[in-house]
Amino acid sequence: MVAGTAAAVLLAGGGLAACSTNASSVDATGGGGFGFVQQAPGQDFVEVASRREAPKLAGETLDGDQLDLASLKGKPVVLNFWASWCGPCRAETPGLVRLAAENPDVAFVGVNAKEEAAAGRAFVRDFKVPYPSIHDRYGVLAAGWPIAIGLPSTIVLDAQGRIAARFTGGVVPEDLTAVLGRLRTEV
């Protein structure tokens, strides 16, 4: 039911068609049942005892490989929903690229949403993105995730594959670094 509800909300709200940098419209207390606790505008963190398993996510990457998020259990995962036409996505990408290089113990994965694969591949090439991105042409994969109705959105999973944090709008390296540091202390 949650995935169906999310899909209906996405369709009613225009899907992921517009970039979002305003987190004030997000109900951080509800979090779609994921137990998010508002930390700062656009950022939610879930305490360990309240975390839930992340929805399944698998698909073909922009490189043509298959990737299943479940295969990454055992390490934290930064999952970034983006599109090349999204200004805030373009602004946050250099920081994500830098953080991926600085955190080899963390898996970074992108979800390229709402565009043709060729545009996503050009973006990855131009920004020298070193991590894989699953291509989600119609936003179907994103519909099952507790994200804002807009791009970019970033979900952080703990090493057990549970949702630990969510960023709506562009994520800044300092905020993401703080969440990753917090996850490392939980081990």
Domain range enclosing 63: 2-186
For 30-68, write each residue's pLDDT tens digit: 344 444 343 334 778 889 999 999 999 999 999 999 999
Task: Return the structure tokens found at 113.
Answer: 């949403």
What's the rounded Cα separation, in Å, for the pair 112 and 117? 8
Residue 25 pLDDT class (50, 70, 90 cuts): very low
For 112-122, write each residue's pLDDT tens digit: 999 999 999 99
Taking 60 as the threshold, does the pLDDT of residue 125 lie above it?
yes
How many domains is the chain built from?
1
Taking 70 as the threshold, does the pLDDT of residue 1 lie above it?
no
Please confirm whether the linkage preceding 104 is cis (ω < 30° from 0).
no
What's the rounded Cα separation, in Å, for the pair 144 and 2? 7
Residue 162 pLDDT class (50, 70, 90 cuts): very high
CATH number at residue 140: 3.40.30.10
Task: Return the structure tokens found at 25.
Answer: 């419209």
Work out the percent of the chain whose per-residue pLDDT is above 90.
63
More confident residue, 72 or 25: 72
Can you say whether the dihedral through the CA atoms of 72, 69, 34, 176 is positive or negative? positive
Which residue type is seen at 43?
Q
